[in-house]
Structure formats: C-alpha cells, structure tokens
Amino acid sequence: MPDPFEEPRCLDPGPPESLTETLADLSARVAALEARLARKRPDTNGRRMTRLDRCPFGWKPHAKNLARLIEDAHEQQTIQHIVEAAQNPAMGPRALCRHLDSVGIKRRGGKPWAGAHGLIRAILDREGIATACDAERLVRSRWVKPAVAEPPSGTSEAETGQSVQA
C-alpha cells in the first residue's frame, strides 16, 4: 500500500523520446481541440442547441419548429449597432454597455445593458471582432508580450534621453 505522506509523483512522462511520439502527441492534441471546438460550434442547419429560453442573442426559436433557430430582426439590428460602435478603439465592452443604455437600446426582456459586458464580449467574439481591452487582457495574461519601443539605430542613449534595459 502506498504511503499517504509520500510526495505525489508527476504523471508527466517527460519529453518524448522520438519524432514519431512527438507527432502522435501533437495529432492527439489537435484532435482533442477540434472535438472541443466542434461541440461549441452552432449547427449549420440552424438547429437549436440550447434551451428555449437560452437562445444566442440575435436568434429566436422558429414559431412552428422549436428545434430550429431564426434571426430576430430587432436583436440583429442591435448587434449591427454594437459592431459599428466597437470600431472605436476607446470602446470596450463596459463602455459599449453604457453607450447602448444612453442611446436607449434595451436587451431581451427590456433589461438595461448595465452589467452585461460579458454578453457584449460574447457578441463581439461571435462576430470576430477584438477590442482594445482584449489586447490588454492578453498582455496581462502573459500570452502576448507587450511591444517595447526601441530607439532608432544610430542614436545613443544620451540623444534620446532614455535608457534601454536588456
């Protein structure tokens, strides 16, 4: 029987021993990622993948066939307004919520947009639009390194007044 106070051993087998193991590991990871993305992707035939009261913003159940989704014209106009307003780099999801409330556009059920920045972010993600705050969030999460301005070549630190740290 294993000792309960013993240090747990790492389950990671370490670096692969050959190129074929590396390629097999990579293909397994790609297959897992594709399967995960396929589960998240809406069905191309317009079939509803959620509960009746949880349709994506901009869509509603078909009146005769509840298993199908159709576009909601009013919500599609709201999405178009959000996409146009998001072109301004100063408009993050919270600023877009304030903008929609000030213009008088309401959410589903007549709710205000205040506090619905997650919904705004989901709409922008679905439309393939990244905002300036998304870039900042990536830098904070350390997935992307911030760009560091370097002095032009041929100039010394004394001329620019800046010191470059390596």
Print the SS3 string covering the chain: CCCCCCCCCCCCCCCCCCHHHHHHHHHHHHHHHHHHHHHHCCCCCCECCCCHHHCCCCEEECCCCCCEEEECHHHHHHHHHHHHHCCCCCCCHHHHHHHHHHHCCCCHHHCCCCCCHHHHHHHHHHHCCCCHHHHHHHHHCCCCCCCCCCCCCCCCHHHHCCCCCC
pLDDT for the residue 103: 92
Q: pLDDT: is 118 or 52 the higher one?
A: 118
pLDDT for the residue 6: 60
Region 60-86 average pLDDT: 89
Domain contains 88: yes
| Confidence band of 157 (pLDDT split at 50, 70, 90) | low
Q: Is residue 121 pLDDT above 80, yes or no? A: yes
- pLDDT, one tens digit per residue, over 92-111 is 889 999 999 999 999 988 89
Q: pLDDT: is 14 or 63 the higher one?
A: 63
The mean of the pLDDT values for the chain is 76
Domain contains 90: yes
- CA–CA distance, 98 with 91 (Å, rounded to integer): 10
Q: Is residue 22 pLDDT above 60, yes or no? A: yes
Q: Which domain holds residue 78?
A: 73-140
Q: Is residue 1 pLDDT above 80, yes or no? A: no
Domain contains 17: no
pLDDT for the residue 24: 84
19-28, 44-53, 54-63, 82-91: segment of lowest average pLDDT: 44-53
**Domain total for the chain?**
1
Q: Is residue 153 pLDDT above 90, yes or no? A: no
